[in-house]
Amino acid sequence: MPVQRTLSIIKPDAVGKNVIGDIIRRFEENGLSVIGTRMTQLSAAEAGRFYEVHAGRPFYNDLCAFMSSGPILAMVLEGQNAVVLNRQLMGATNPKEAEAGTIRADHADSIDANAVHGSDSVENAAIEIAFFFSGLELISRG
């Protein structure tokens, strides 16, 4: 399986619950390595740029408000099949539909406050990683 990089964000709800360590533990125990981290708080405009693909969707304004409501932890995960593996560990967007044992099943409160973001393709991962990180900030272990 190919070694890939993907962007993970621990969203404001999960940062507020103090479960950063639990979420990163799940990544590491499943073969993903953290190769860059950035804790920040986005402005609503920055959140809007990050989620531009959803502009015009009914939930877009609430999503931008939520993502800028508190600190987030953006990180780059590296490992075999990282994009799909991260999505599996996250669970479904709506925590009510998330498989037991996934991050969202255990930590998400609702479809909007759903604990984590993860890139959905290798192409989007590259775009999303570049939003938060310069190449110099990523320390590959491979």
Alpha helices for 34-113 (secondary structure H): 44-50, 60-67, 82-90, 103-107
What are the beta bridge partners of residue 38? 74
Minimum separation from the CB atom of position 91 to ligand UDP (A) = 9
Query: Among residues 55 and 139, whose Cβ is nearest to ligand UDP?
Result: 55
For Cα atoms 23, 24, 25, give the angle at the middle one, nearest 5 degrees.
90
Residue 93, marked binder:
yes
Among 19, 120, 122, 124, binds ligand UDP (CB under 6 A): 120
**Three-state DSSP state, 115:** coil
Does 117 sit near ligand UDP (CB under 6 A)? yes
Residues 57-96 interacting with ligand UDP (rule: CB under 6 A) = 59, 63, 93
Least distance between ligand UDP and beta carbon 65 (Å)? 11
Reduced to 3 states, what is the DSSP secondary structure of residue 69? coil
Beta bridge partners of 74: 9, 38
Q: Which residues bind ligand UDP (CB under 6 A)?
A: 59, 63, 93, 111-112, 114, 117, 120
